[in-house]
Amino acid sequence: MSENSEKTTHFGFSEVPEGEKAGRVQGVFNSVASKYDIMNDVMSMGIHRVWKDAMMDWLAPRPGQKLLDVAGGTGDISFRFLGRAGHGHATVLDLTEPMLVEGRKRAEASHLADSLNWVVGDAMSLPFDDNTFDVYTISFGIRNVTRPQEALNEAYRVLRPGGRLMVLEFSQLPNDGLQKLYDLYSFNVIPRMGKAIAGDYDSYQYLVESIRNFPDQETFLGMVRKAGFGNAKYRNLSMGIAALHSGWKL
């Protein structure tokens, strides 16, 4: 038996063979696609919008920039980026086809279709040439990638020199008391809300567990640096419930 087939990875709190994770994550998102954005609103009590605004503030999109929005789903980040840049181009990549189809409908409705492309692909093996994009974003997506370090390495590869990486992800609270309180909320409330709103308890249970398993701010910063990014930094959002990591391909 090859070494690879015995390797396991986190799927929420369960250990699953590495080869199965992508399919299972796809299952989660296929099952929540159309209600995903509404659920994000409800789950974070609207705060994810504030976090995404903070992401755009730090990113400061400029006219004419080319964005690659990985795990971009329905294009939420791309729409914000294009709105701030004035004009530019965004490529939305996701593992899940129904999310992209949903996003494309929205792009057509808002007459942005010409500024956007939609691609099904894997963050660990991007279907793009080296040095292609000015900006790479991944928002609430990297913790679902089987091997996040490989996704960061790929981000570095497809960015042009001078290009910028920006990662928005749930993170860890700085003290145990707060973390316990947040765990209590997230483990008890979110899966139930998921069931009530999207009719899907298990998917939201997975989301909560995967958040708790993701590396903390400093560990992830080390991974960003390891991929080759310079001037790497992070900012906590809502005390560390989420964090932004930024890096440059120098």
Binding site for another protein (CB under 8 A): 91, 95, 97, 100-101, 104-105, 108, 117-122, 125-130, 132
Q: Which residue's CB is nearer to another protein, number 41 or number 150?
A: 150
Joined tokens for residue 246: 């930024």
Alpha carbon separation from 192 to 43, 180, 196, 200, 206 (Å, rounded): 10, 18, 6, 9, 12
Nearer to another protein, 85 or 173 (CB): 85
The total number of residues written for the chain in this structure:
250
Tell me the CA end-to-end span of the chain in Å, nearest whole number. Answer: 41
In the bound state with another protein, the residue whose beta carbon lies nearer, of 132 and 238, is 132
Q: Give, in degrees to the nearest 5, the angle at Cα 119 between 208 and 59.
A: 65
Q: How far is the CB of 128 from another protein (least distance, A)?
A: 6
CB of 118 to another protein, least distance (A): 5
The span from the CA of 10 to the CA of 33, in Å, is 22
Q: Give the nearer residue to another protein in terms of CB position, either 124 or 178.
A: 124
Place of tokens 């909560």: 208
Comparison of 125 and 177: residue with beta carbon closer to another protein: 125
The residue behind tokens 């089987």 is 146
One-letter amino acid at 69 equals D
Q: Which two tokens stand for residue 118?
A: 């939609």
In the complex, the smallest distance separating the C-beta of residue 119 from another protein, rounded to whole angstroms, is 6
The gap from C-alpha 224 to its chain's centroid, in whole angstroms, comes to 15
At its nearest, how many Å lie between another protein and the CB of residue 125?
4
Smallest gap from residue 160 Cβ to another protein (A): 12
**Tokens, residue 199:** 């009719």
Q: From the CB of 129, what's the least distance to another protein, in Å?
A: 5
Identify which of residues 154 and 200 has a Cβ nearer to another protein in the complex: 154
